[in-house]
Structure 1
Amino acid sequence: MSGSRMRPLVGALIVACMVLVGPSAPVGVPFSGSLPVEATPDVVANRVMTWNICNPCEESNGDRAAEIATYAPQVIGLQEACVRDVERIVDHLESRYGLVYQVTYGTVLRNWGRCGGLPWRPGAYGQAVLSMAPMTDLVSAEYSDGGSEDRGYMAVTTTVDGRPVRIFNTHLAERRQEAVRADQIGALAAEVAQHDRAIVIGDFNAVPNAPELAGMWTLAADVDPRCRPSPSGDCRPTTDWQSKFDYIFLRGIAPRGHRVRPTPYSDHHLLYADLDTRTGERSQSPVA
C-alpha cells in the first residue's frame, strides 16, 4: 500500500485508540501544582495577607499563584494589580491547587502600558481583594489627589476567623509625595473610624515614623506588636530596599502572629498575619 494511502489509515487507527483508551489524564480534574514542603495544606481561616505584586514586572501569574497558595490565606489584598492578571491568578489557584477564591476589584486607572489590552481599550489597574468567603458592601474610591498616578482604596465586608470584618485595601502615593499621602490617609482614616472591627492592608509607601501615617496610627495598631511609629520601633522591612512600606493595621482585632516572606516575583515581600477577631487584646503566639 502506498504511503499516501497508509496515512489516512494510521490516522484512523490513532483516533480509534484514543476513543478506546481515553485521554492520559481525566478531563476536568485539576492539575495539582507542586508547592514547597513547608506550604500550608489547607486554607487558614484567620490568615490575612497583603502583597504589592509589582507592575509592570513581566512576572508569571502562575508563580504569583504558587506564592499565594503556599501560605493559603483566607483573605489577600493585592496592589498594582491588573484585572487580567488577577483573573489568571485566581484561575491558577483553583485549577492547580484547588483554592477557590472570590475576587472584587478597586481599580482606579485604565492603563495600556501597565495592563496591556488595546490602546483604545486598556486594562484596568488598582487593587483587588481575594477571599474564600463571600464579600459584600464593596466600596471603591479614588483619592481626590493621587499624586503622580491615580490611587485609591477599596473596602469589603467578609469573614475572617469566623466573624464578619471590614477589610480595607489601599495603595498610597509614591515616595517623596508626603503631603499627598497625608491627605489620602485623612480620607481613608475617616472611613476606617466608622468600624469597630477593621483590617487595613496595603502599600502605604511610607516608613512607620513618617508624619503622614499619624492618622492611621491613632486608629489602629500594626500587626507586629514591636512595630511603633518611632525611630526605635522594631519594624521588619517589607521591600527589597529594606524599608517597611507594607502594613496590616488592626482595629478591634488581636494578632496571633505574623510573617514577612521575601519573594523573587516582586520588589515587595509577602506580609501575612494570623488573627483573633474575637478580642482586641494582643496575643503573641507564633505563626506556623
Structure 2
Amino acid sequence: MGSFQGHLVPGTLFLVIGVWHTWSSVVRYVSNPKAFKIRVWSPVVGFGGRLKYMELYVVVVGSFIDLCIELLYSPHFRYFVNGVLNPSHMNDFAHSGMLLMFFIFGVVALLNEKTSDAYVRRYLPLPEGALILIIATAFLAEYLLFSNHSTSYKGLESYYHILLLLIISISIISILTATLFPTSFPLDLTCGISITLQGIWFYQIAFSLHGPMMPHGCNLKDNEIICKLPENEVRGELLANFQLFAAVLLVFVAVLGSYGFAASRYGSSELMSMHAATDGFEED
C-alpha cells in the first residue's frame, strides 16, 4: 500500500533528476545542435567545477537514503519471522531491490568519471551505451515492481499504478532506443520528460491515495482504498485520467518555455540557421 512519505521521497528524486535532465538536454541542443549527443547524466558546468557531479550525487545519496528507509527503518531489522522473510514487509524488500539498482547506476557512473585506481581503470571508463543499459535495467526493475502492485492492489489504487506503469514504460523505451540513435534530441528530451512525469505522478499518488485529494466517496481503510459505490470508483479513475493529462500539459508547457528561454540565451548560430530554414520552408 505504501504511505504518503513513501511516495513523496522517490517522487522528489525523480522530479529533480527529470527536470535537470530535460533542462540540460535543451541547453546542450540549442548550444550546438550538430554536435548533440545523448547523455545518460549531465554535468553541472560553472561554479569552479565543484558541482559537476551533482546529478550523480543526488542519485547515489537519494537512493541510498530511501534504500535505508525501506530496508532498515520500515522493517525495524525484523527480516525473518518463523524462519521466513517477514511477510509484513515484503513490499519494503521489493522497493529496496529497485532502489539498489539506481544506487548501483550512480556509483558506477561516479567511478566511471572519478576513479584514479589503476586496476579499476583497466575496465573503465565504460561507454555511454553501457551506462544507458544499466539505467534502463533500473527502470525495468521499477516497472516489474509496480506491475506487481497494479495486479495485487484493487480498484482505484491499482488504476493509479497502471498509469504509473505507462509513464515508466515510456522511460524504458526512450532510454533503450537512445542506444540506436545516440544523437536524437527528441529521444533525450522524451527521457527527461518521462522521468519528470514519474516524479509528478508519485506526488499525485501520495496526495490522492494518502492525502487530502482522496476522490469523493473513497476512503483509506485497513491499508486499502475502499469506495462506497462503483460510481465513486469510476469517478476516481476519470479524475486520475484528468490529473495525468494536466501533468502532461504542465510539463509540455514548461518544456516549450524552457526551450524558448534557452534558445534566446544560449542559442548558437547553427540553431538560428535551422530555425530560419524551417520558417522559409513553411512560407514556401
The TM-score normalised by the length of structure 2 is 0.25
Which structure has the greater CA radius of gyration? 1
Q: Using CA pairs under 8 Å that are at least 6 residues apart, name the structure with larger relative contact order, 1 or 2.
A: 2
The TM-score normalised by the length of structure 1 is 0.25
Which structure has the highest helix share of the two? 2
Which structure has the highest strand share of the two? 1
